[in-house]
Structure 1
Amino acid sequence: MSKGCHVIKLGPNNDDAAREALQESPQFLQVGGGINDTNCLEWLKWASKTLKVLCGIDELLVSKLFEWTKDYDDLKIVYAGGAKSVDDLKLVDELSHGKVDLTFGSSLDIFGGNLVKFEDCCRWNEKQG
């Protein structure tokens, strides 16, 4: 079974259908589209009720992302999903030879998480130069 599939809201009044899809496939689907500064808190609160586990970095995928794009110097990639430690920054950097950037979501303290501190991520980035 695939990991990290998305439900994208493409028009108005899709919220109920998106919530229903997410409810039917917990730990499988993510939602996107139409989420902005006026409604993101609602989605964050809803997600915090349903989120049960952080699956970690898909190391094979990160390695493949480097392999598939190593000849494209101007292309940058951002990996999202599963990061649960500031050490994941080093892991993704090493696996991708610096090609892939990592973003943190629900594990980050500024998004309500308790696994990763924003300040620690900033310090790690500052050390990278």
Structure 2
Amino acid sequence: MARSSFRPCIDLHSGLVKQIVGASLSDASPDTLRTNHIAKESPKEFALLYRRHNLRGGHVIKLGPGNDDAARSALEAWPDALHIGGGITPENALDWISAGAEKVIVTSYLFPSGKFSLDRLRDLSQKVGRERLVVDVSCRKAQHGWTIAMNKWQDLTDTSVTKESLDIFAEYCSEFLIHAADVEGLCQGIDEDLVKFLGEIVKIPTTYAGGAKSIEDLDLVDRLSSGRVDLTYGSALDIFGGTQVSFEELAKRNAERQRTLPP
């Protein structure tokens, strides 16, 4: 029986590790950016911390330009263990694999002018290999369900989060990363409906990010998704300036949970 795991993150903005309220990201209005925390520690230091706790499969997300060097430093600190996202295209995907990424994460490239392109997904999958590709299904609540969002969660696409759409994506990638953009960075609780829905429809490993505020949320996600969805914590963690969740306690609980899995 599967159990939900804790997946770590390194969000990069202007070369620094930051925790940002997702809905405030905007190229058009940079003054609206709401930042919860700017870390004194380098991306490399966070990667080494995750390495010490064997927290594999964490995502390094480049939020805009000026983050390439910072991302490379994290990947070099723990080669073939972290996933990289932000501006991934067929032209640079293999370079990031060579730089140490276990997998590359893609969203916006798959939606030229906001419309899903199966050809682009197929081409990128062939370029890097299905096992090396993660599709970021970042989304916002819509009238009926959730709509995939791109360009740092600013623009809605023509594609909803449905069993049919995820089944198509899953043919060409090995994992999903789901950012619930409406609650990202708010520390006010996860989107329980979305997590439950994902647990019902996903067929490949899936990580949810957005709103986690307590260590008990890991058990909540495990229950809602029947262990099919993993959880990322951000602004609530003490390593990111939060007061609600101890990283060391969370990492310890995560390790204990995995040890109790049946063989």
TM range (shorter): 0.5 to 0.7
Match for residue 226 of structure 2? 97
Let me know the Cα RMSD of the aligned residues: 3.0
**Paired residues for 1:6-85 under 5 Å:** 7=25, 17=28, 19-20=30-31, 23=32, 32-34=63-65, 35=67, 37=70, 53-69=186-202, 72=203, 75-85=204-214
Match for residue 118 of structure 2? none
Aligned residues: 96
Counterpart AA for 2:63 = G
**How far apart are residue 19 of structure 1 and its match?**
2.2
Structure 1 SS opposite 2:230: strand
Counterpart AA for 1:77 = T
Alpha-carbon distance between aligned partners in 2 of 1:52 and 1:63, rounded to the nearest angstrom: 20
Match for residue 121 of structure 1? 250
Identity of aligned residues (%): 44
Q: Structure 2 stretches of 5 or more lacking a match?
A: 1-21, 35-61, 72-183
Detail structure 1 runs of 4+ shifted over 3 Å in the superposition: 4-8, 33-36
Identify if the C-alpha distance between structure 1 residues 52 and 86 changes in structure 2 by more than 3 Å, giving closer, same or farther: closer
Structure showing greater radius of gyration is 2
Structure 1 SS opposite 2:211: coil
More helix by share: 1
Counterpart AA for 1:80 = A
Task: Output the TM-score relative to the length of structure 1.
Answer: 0.61
Counterpart AA for 1:86 = I
